[in-house]
Chain A
Amino acid sequence: MQDERALPVSRKISSWRQFKAILRKDIVMELRTKEMLTSMGLYAILVLLIYYVALSQAGQGFDVTRIAGGLLLLAIVFTSMLGLNRSLVHEQDQGCLEALLLSPIDRPIIFFGKAVGNLIFLLLVQVFVVPLFYFIFLSGGMATEHTGPWWMVALALIVTSIGIAGVGTLLATMSVNTKGKDFILAVLFIPIMFPLLLVAVAALSAVITGDPEYVRIFWTMLGAAAVYDVIMISAAFALYEFILGA
Chain B
Amino acid sequence: MSDFALEIENLTRTFGVRKALDGVSFNLKRGAFLSVFGPNGAGKTTLLRVLSTLAAPSRDSSVKVLGYDVVEDAVELREHIGVISHNPLLYPDLTADENLQFFADLYCLENPKERIDELLEAVELTHRRLDVVRGFSRGMVQRLALARTLLPSPELIFLDEPYSGLDPHASDILDSLIAGIREEHTFVMVSHDLEKGLSLCSDALILARGKVVLFEAAENIERDEFSRIFREAVGRGVS
**Is A–B contact present in the complex under a CB 8 A cutoff?**
yes
Contacts from A to B (Cβ < 8 Å) = 1-3, 5, 7-14, 17-18, 20-21, 24-25, 28-29, 32-33, 90, 93-96, 98-106, 245
Contacts of B85 in A (CB 8 A): 95, 98
Contacts from B to A (Cβ < 8 Å) = 1, 52-56, 66-68, 75-76, 78-83, 85, 87-94, 98, 102-103, 105-110, 115, 132, 148, 152-153
Q: How far is the CB of A208 from chain B (nearest CB, A)?
A: 39
Task: Determine if B52 and A25 form an interchain contact, defined as CB atoms under 8 angstroms apart.
Answer: no
Task: Determine if B91 and A104 form an interchain contact, defined as CB atoms under 8 angstroms apart.
Answer: no
Which of B91, B109, B132 sits near A96, CB closer than 8 Å? B91
Task: Determine if A100 and B98 form an interchain contact, defined as CB atoms under 8 angstroms apart.
Answer: no
Which of A14, A18, A33, A96 sits near B89, CB closer than 8 Å? A96
Task: Determine if B108 and A17 form an interchain contact, defined as CB atoms under 8 angstroms apart.
Answer: yes
Closest 3 A-B residue pairs measured CB to CB?
Answer: A21-B105, A95-B87, A99-B89
Query: Chain B: interface secondary structure?
Result: loop
Task: Determine if A103 and B109 form an interchain contact, defined as CB atoms under 8 angstroms apart.
Answer: no
Task: Determine if B110 and A21 form an interchain contact, defined as CB atoms under 8 angstroms apart.
Answer: no
Contacts of A101 in B (CB 8 A): 54
Nearest residue in A to B98 (C-beta to C-beta)?
Answer: A28
Query: Chain A: interface secondary structure?
Result: helix
Which of A12, A33, A98, A106 sits near B108, CB closer than 8 Å? A12
Task: Determine if A21 and B106 form an interchain contact, defined as CB atoms under 8 angstroms apart.
Answer: yes
Task: Determine if B1 and A1 form an interchain contact, defined as CB atoms under 8 angstroms apart.
Answer: yes
Nearest residue in A to B66 (C-beta to C-beta)?
Answer: A2
29 contacts between A and B (CB under 8 A): A2-B1, A2-B66, A10-B109, A11-B79, A13-B75, A17-B105, A17-B108, A25-B102, A28-B98, A32-B93, A33-B93, A90-B91, A90-B93, A93-B92, A94-B91, A95-B85, A96-B91, A98-B54, A98-B89, A99-B90, A100-B106, A102-B52, A102-B53, A102-B78, A102-B83, A103-B106, A104-B76, A104-B108, A245-B55
Q: How far is the CB of A125 from chain B (nearest CB, A)?
A: 19
Q: How far is the CB of B199 from chain A (nearest CB, A)?
A: 27
Task: Determine if B94 and A28 form an interchain contact, defined as CB atoms under 8 angstroms apart.
Answer: yes
Task: Determine if B132 and A32 form an interchain contact, defined as CB atoms under 8 angstroms apart.
Answer: yes
Contacts of A93 in B (CB 8 A): 92
Task: Determine if B105 and A11 form an interchain contact, defined as CB atoms under 8 angstroms apart.
Answer: no
Nearest residue in B to A3 (C-beta to C-beta)?
Answer: B76
Q: How far is the CB of B142 from chain A (nearest CB, A)?
A: 12
Task: Determine if B68 and A2 form an interchain contact, defined as CB atoms under 8 angstroms apart.
Answer: yes
Contacts of A32 in B (CB 8 A): 93-94, 132
Q: In the assembly, what is the distance between CA of A178 and CA of B27, in Å? A: 37
Q: In the assembly, what is the distance between CA of A90 and CA of B134, in Å? A: 13
Which of B56, B75, B76, B107 sits near A106, CB closer than 8 Å? B75
Task: Determine if B102 and A94 form an interchain contact, defined as CB atoms under 8 angstroms apart.
Answer: no
Nearest residue in B to A30 (C-beta to C-beta)?
Answer: B93
Q: In the assembly, what is the distance between CA of A33 and CA of B134, in Å? A: 12
Contacts of A28 in B (CB 8 A): 94, 98
Which of B87, B107, B110 sits near A103, CB closer than 8 Å? B107
Q: In the assembly, what is the distance between CA of A11 and CA of B87, in Å? A: 27
Contacts of B78 in A (CB 8 A): 102-104
Q: How far is the CB of B87 from chain A (nearest CB, A)?
A: 3
Given A102-B78, A104-B75, A94 and B93 touching (CB < 8 A)?
no
Which of A5, A18, A98, A104 sits near B87, CB closer than 8 Å? A98
Contacts of B89 in A (CB 8 A): 94-96, 98-99
Q: How far is the CB of A6 from chain B (nearest CB, A)?
A: 11
Q: Known contacts A5-B1, A18-B106, A90-B93; can you find 14 more A-B pairs with CB under 8 A? A: A2-B66, A7-B79, A9-B110, A9-B153, A11-B109, A13-B75, A33-B93, A90-B91, A95-B87, A95-B88, A95-B89, A96-B89, A98-B89, A245-B54
Task: Determine if B107 and A11 form an interchain contact, defined as CB atoms under 8 angstroms apart.
Answer: yes
Contacts of B148 in A (CB 8 A): 99
